[in-house]
Chain A
Amino acid sequence: MTVTVSPLTPLVAHTRAQVLDLIRTPIAIISTTIFPTLAFLFFVLPQGAITDNAVASLSVVAQLGVFGVMSAYLFGYGIGVAEERANPWTTYLRTLPIGPFPMTVARFLTAALASFLSLLPLVLAVALLTKAPEAFTSGELSWARIPFALAMVLIAATPFLAMGLCIGYLLSSKAAVAVAQVLNFPLAFIGGLMLPPEMFPGWLDVVSLATPARAARDIVIWALTGEQMPGSTLPVLLGWTVALTALAVWANRRDEGRRFR
């Protein structure tokens, strides 16, 4: 009667369930999806100096793309996990014969899909409304950079996914909303996702380089435009990813659902 179940089967089942939930609640996708695009339309499009310059436009896309994905992870996963934790269905899932692995990985895959969807309208808007495509049509940059950069946005945003999970596992859903907001905008600012870090004073640039937001921005700009990234980018990104993932795994293990005092 004991049937051996491939460890992949629960992972596929959890991913499938979460993706079904996502696509059957379209409003949740729409709100995270249009945010970077709106930011582009309101703040970047009026600045002709940027939109007339193909490479500058691409850098803006990279920044906003990272900002969108970071927000999606921090909010979607920070608040989503905190709410899910208080949900008795999650308590039921914890009685099934699986560890934290399938749920956590399924959440990552679903987040990646949701973030990818948020990039599509942004890429479309930039392609239609700026001179960015000329960088590729003129042969200055290879077309292959576009899928490469898209993949890189998702990979570079991993620390924010882990950060979202930490928030979700360590805090109640109300506290998670506040903490996600407190983290998101300062991180976006210091990380150069709103203003280019070239405008920062020296000390702020040093702080900026140590943040995961800046590292994610620089690596995506490098992927898209070939602009050299600082030597600190990879170690900073890797360090934050490892540290926050370890914290997220620890938080998941100590989690016993919502506790009241």
Chain B
Amino acid sequence: MLHTQNQVRPTTDTITDTVADTVVASVESVSKSFGDTVALDDLSMQVHAGESLGLLGPNGAGKSTLISLLTGTRRADTGTVTIFGGDPTSPDSRRRLGVTPQATALPVTLRVREVFAFVGAHFGTTQEHLDELAASFDLADLLEKQCGSLSGGQQRRLMVALALVGDPELVILDEPTTGLDVESRDRLWARLRRYRDEGGTLVITSHYLAEIEALASRVLVVDHGRVIADGTVRQITEQVQLRRILLRTTAPEQQLLALPGTVSVTPESESDPHHVVLATRDADATVRALVADGIDFSDLQVHGASLEEAFLALTTHQSPAHAA
């Protein structure tokens, strides 16, 4: 079986390999509306101890509402939400929870060191742990700076570091690396992998699908307030009957799009416009036609769909289908 491109680590094939039976967070038949807008529509999901769950969905799909229920900042209209078996709106349930919200907003007048100490005071965090986090997130040189003077990326790193201050068993990150440069992002991923490898449970949303592929062992695709797919990255991409055909060709885009099964034609890289990716529903038919039409091509490769293509295919098709 072909792996998706840019795999940093091999994805595990089945959820049961990595997951203990303990349910850390549970959402049962939950609905939540804001006025006439239905944000969550009878949604159910569970997070198991030790797994890393990626939440995917287009804007307005209900991801942030789901996170606000799990972190106790909002209440469900109907249905039950629990973390560690308790109500997330009760402070005791949140003792083992760490959160990074989507929006970055720090108290501008406080220094970085003071913000660490402030959050640490809620958990009895040791100074060693705070120092380790400051170093891991490349903030050690900024401890005496006021948060208002930090760059956007520095503030974001601090927001994610704060999620780990309480030595949590469940960490929920809403778009953690938005606005980060590649180096900061890689550093942050490395620290989150360490958290995960030490047995921590992770729930992460991102518009950046490589992030989900890099960190998540399981993916939940949400759209219109419902779960439309649930499985490992591999299961999600296999569920979508899309294949990627990479080839080098000078044929015009229109001609390639006319090939049977083809749904899109995109350049593989910006530097080389003749190196293209065809997304197709029937790779066999596409390749046969490619040969039969006498189109000039070289370097042909066929791959399974990337998570991004699978995600687009799932969320642009209007019929919601639950994954196996």
Indicate if A91 sits at the interface (CB-CB under 8 A).
yes
Indicate if A182 sits at the interface (CB-CB under 8 A).
no
Indicate if B265 sits at the interface (CB-CB under 8 A).
no
- The answer to whether A5 touches B97, judged by C-beta atoms less than 8 angstroms apart, is no
- The answer to whether A88 touches B97, judged by C-beta atoms less than 8 angstroms apart, is no
Residues of A in contact with B, size category: 20 to 34
- The answer to whether B105 touches A88, judged by C-beta atoms less than 8 angstroms apart, is yes
The A interface is mostly helix, strand or loop, or mixed, namely loop
Indicate if B122 sits at the interface (CB-CB under 8 A).
yes
Name the one of A1, A17, A97 contacting B118, with C-beta atoms under 8 angstroms.
A17
Name the B residues within 8 Å of A260 (CB-CB). 34
Indicate if B294 sits at the interface (CB-CB under 8 A).
no
- The answer to whether B91 touches A9, judged by C-beta atoms less than 8 angstroms apart, is no
Name the one of B92, B97, B124, B146 contacting A95, with C-beta atoms under 8 angstroms.
B97
Name the B residues within 8 Å of A10 (CB-CB). 121-122
- The answer to whether B101 touches A91, judged by C-beta atoms less than 8 angstroms apart, is yes
Cα–Cα, bound, A20→B103 (Å) = 23
Cα–Cα, bound, A88→B103 (Å) = 6
CB distance from A252 to the nearest CB of B (A): 12
Indicate if A228 sits at the interface (CB-CB under 8 A).
no
CB-nearest residue of chain B to A89: B105
- The answer to whether B73 touches A1, judged by C-beta atoms less than 8 angstroms apart, is no
Name the one of A3, A87, A261 contacting B105, with C-beta atoms under 8 angstroms.
A87
Cα–Cα, bound, A261→B34 (Å) = 7
Name the A residues within 8 Å of B119 (CB-CB). 96
CB-nearest residue of chain B to A23: B109
Name the B residues within 8 Å of A12 (CB-CB). 121
Name the B residues within 8 Å of A17 (CB-CB). 107, 110, 114, 118
- The answer to whether B105 touches A5, judged by C-beta atoms less than 8 angstroms apart, is no
CB-nearest residue of chain B to A9: B121
Given A1-B167, A9-B124, A97-B92: A92 in contact with B99 (beta carbons within 8 A): yes
Name the A residues within 8 Å of B114 (CB-CB). 17, 20
Task: Kindly supply a per-residue 1/0 record for chain B positions 54-97, scoring 1 wherever the CB is within 8 Å of any chain A CB and 0 otherwise.
Answer: 00000000000000100111110000000000000001111111
- The answer to whether B123 touches A5, judged by C-beta atoms less than 8 angstroms apart, is yes
Cα–Cα, bound, A14→B121 (Å) = 9
Task: Kindly supply a per-residue 1/0 record for chain A positions 1-37, scoring 1 wherever the CB is within 8 Å of any chain B CB and 0 otherwise.
Answer: 1111100011011101100110011000000000000
CB-nearest residue of chain B to A260: B34
CB distance from B323 to the nearest CB of A (A): 30
Indicate if B35 sits at the interface (CB-CB under 8 A).
yes
Indicate if B117 sits at the interface (CB-CB under 8 A).
yes
- The answer to whether B124 touches A20, judged by C-beta atoms less than 8 angstroms apart, is no
Indicate if A256 sits at the interface (CB-CB under 8 A).
yes
CB distance from B123 to the nearest CB of A (A): 7
Indicate if A98 sits at the interface (CB-CB under 8 A).
yes
**Centre residue among B72, B92, B107, B119 by max chain A CB count within 10 A:** B107
Cα–Cα, bound, A261→B95 (Å) = 32
Indicate if B313 sits at the interface (CB-CB under 8 A).
no
- The answer to whether A97 touches B104, judged by C-beta atoms less than 8 angstroms apart, is no
- The answer to whether B72 touches A94, judged by C-beta atoms less than 8 angstroms apart, is yes
Cα–Cα, bound, A257→B68 (Å) = 11
Cα–Cα, bound, A257→B119 (Å) = 20
What are some 20 contacts across the A-B interface (CB < 8 A)? A2-B96, A3-B124, A3-B125, A4-B124, A5-B121, A13-B117, A17-B114, A87-B105, A88-B102, A92-B105, A92-B159, A94-B71, A96-B91, A96-B122, A97-B123, A99-B91, A256-B74, A257-B74, A260-B34, A261-B35
What 4 A-B pairs have minimum CB-CB distances, sorted nearest first? A3-B124, A13-B121, A88-B103, A88-B105
Interface residues of B (CB under 8 A from A): 34-35, 68, 71-75, 91-97, 99, 101-107, 109-110, 114, 117-119, 121-125, 146, 159, 162, 166-167
Given contact pairs A95-B101, A97-B166, a sample of 9 additional A-B residue pairs in the complex whose CB atoms are under 8 Å apart: A2-B96, A89-B105, A89-B107, A92-B105, A94-B72, A96-B94, A97-B93, A256-B73, A261-B34
